[in-house]
């Protein structure tokens, strides 16, 4: 098997020409221009139909739901991203400040091969997959989004976790100049999240580079974020700069901020109410009526065995 990161191999030998050309466009600055376009209401509306420009070549995934998609406009304009503010529209209004050129991710800690990856290298971990996942938030709203990415396990396999690795910590960018919400003490910055290693290696856990066939807009976590579909949305760290494998359970942003309301696991569990509201019902963005919340956000078939020995009312 060829080493995808050897400098003497032509990128066109590793990926399709379509993906290679889209990667080149990205590295030449298209990310910045698309992120700027995404803040304009007219631009968002133009992508609600089926004829938006496609930047990625991706394979369909067996894990996708067949549910109706949330519109591109709602996906990119109604966000929780506290680095840019606590309001749902703060991210789309402020995220144009974020500069993603030259972005890298360091993978460190309990690994045999610590490495630094740039976006170009991540894109070589083809084939990318389109996965239509539900996103559930604790405020009782949800979306259905066509994410583009690859299983996080692919990346972790490359760095070879040691026998001591039990958890994976994700650390987001800290830069108050680019992310004005970090000037507030609403959370202990930088944003940190964590998973058990077996959760991180689960085939559903997606390292995400795009949505709706395009590169990630800044307000959705550009240029690379996590998507863990059976957990509440805040577990899916955005704008990641470091992934650290650890022996001890890492402190996570919302658990540190308010441990009585936000547990480390944060699995979607309608039987465990948030102290200020019930989790039994949810409203899909774009719909009027509420629907029943499903255990593990409807992904029990793939993840329930991960928690068979846990008291889910205690380890919430």
Q: Residue 111 has what pLDDT?
A: 98
Cα–Cα distances in angstroms (integers) from residue 10 to residues 124, 125, 158, in the given order:
11, 14, 20
Nearest-angstrom CA–CA distance, 227 and 216: 12
Nearest-angstrom CA–CA distance, 10 and 300: 42
Q: Residue 23 has what pLDDT?
A: 46
11-307: CATH number: 3.90.420.10
Q: Residue 56 has what pLDDT?
A: 64
Domain boundaries, the chain: 11-307
Cα–Cα distances in angstroms (integers) from residue 292 to residues 65, 156, 243, 271, 302, in the given order:
16, 35, 34, 11, 20
Closest CA to 268 of 237, 304, 231: 231
Question: pLDDT of 112-149, one tens digit each?
Answer: 999 999 999 998 886 899 999 999 999 999 999 999 99
Question: pLDDT of 167-215, one tens digit each?
Answer: 999 999 999 999 999 999 999 999 999 999 999 999 999 999 999 999 9
Closest CA to 164 of 64, 247, 228: 247
Per-residue b or e along 182-217, where b marks 16 or more CB atoms closer than 10 Å to that residue's CB = beeeebebbbbbbbbbebbbbebbbbbbbbbbbbbb
Query: How many degrees, rounded to 5, is the angle at CA 141 between CA 315 and CA 47?
Result: 130
| Contact status, residue 175 vs residue 190, Cβ threshold 8 Å | no
* pLDDT confidence tier of residue 273, bands split at 50, 70 and 90: confident
* pLDDT confidence tier of residue 253, bands split at 50, 70 and 90: very high
Percent with pLDDT over 90 in the chain: 74
Q: Residue 55 has what pLDDT?
A: 57
Average pLDDT of every residue of the chain: 85
Question: pLDDT of 21-80, one tens digit each?
Answer: 444 444 444 443 333 333 333 333 334 444 444 456 778 889 999 999 999 999 999 999
């Amino acid at each position: 098997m060829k080493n995808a990161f050897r400098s003497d191999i032509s990128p066109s030998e590793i990926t399709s020409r379509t993906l290679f050309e889209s990667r080149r466009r990205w590295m030449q600055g298209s990310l910045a221009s698309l992120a700027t376009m995404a803040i304009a209401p007219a631009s968002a509306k133009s992508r609600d139909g089926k004829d938006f420009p496609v930047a990625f070549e991706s394979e369909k995934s067996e894990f996708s739901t067949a549910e109706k998609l949330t519109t591109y406009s709602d996906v990119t304009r109604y966000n929780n991203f506290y680095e840019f503010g606590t309001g749902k529209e703060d991210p789309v209004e402020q995220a144009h400040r974020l500069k993603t050129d030259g972005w890298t991710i360091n993978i460190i800690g309990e690994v045999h091969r610590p490495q630094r990856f740039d976006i170009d290298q991540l894109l070589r971990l083809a084939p990318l997959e389109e996965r239509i996942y539900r996103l559930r938030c604790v405020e009782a709203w949800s979306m259905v989004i066509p994410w583009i990415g690859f299983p996080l396990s692919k990346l972790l396999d490359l760095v070879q976790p040691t026998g001591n690795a039990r958890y994976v910590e994700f650390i987001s960018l800290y830069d108050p100049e680019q992310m004005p919400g970090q000037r507030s003490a609403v959370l202990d910055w930088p944003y940190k999240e964590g998973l058990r290693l077996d959760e991180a290696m689960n085939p559903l856990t997606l390292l995400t580079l795009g949505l709706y066939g395009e590169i990630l807009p800044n307000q959705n976590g550009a240029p690379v974020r996590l998507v863990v579909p059976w957990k509440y949305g805040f577990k899916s760290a955005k704008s990641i700069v470091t992934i650290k494998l650890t022996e001890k359970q890492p402190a996570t942003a919302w658990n540190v901020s308010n441990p009585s309301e936000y547990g480390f696991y944060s699995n979607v569990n309608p039987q465990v109410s948030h102290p200020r509201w019930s989790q039994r019902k949810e409203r899909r963005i774009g719909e009027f009526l509420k629907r029943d919340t499903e255990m593990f956000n409807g992904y029990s078939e793939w993840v329930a065995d991960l928690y068979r020995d846990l008291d889910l009312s205690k380890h919430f």
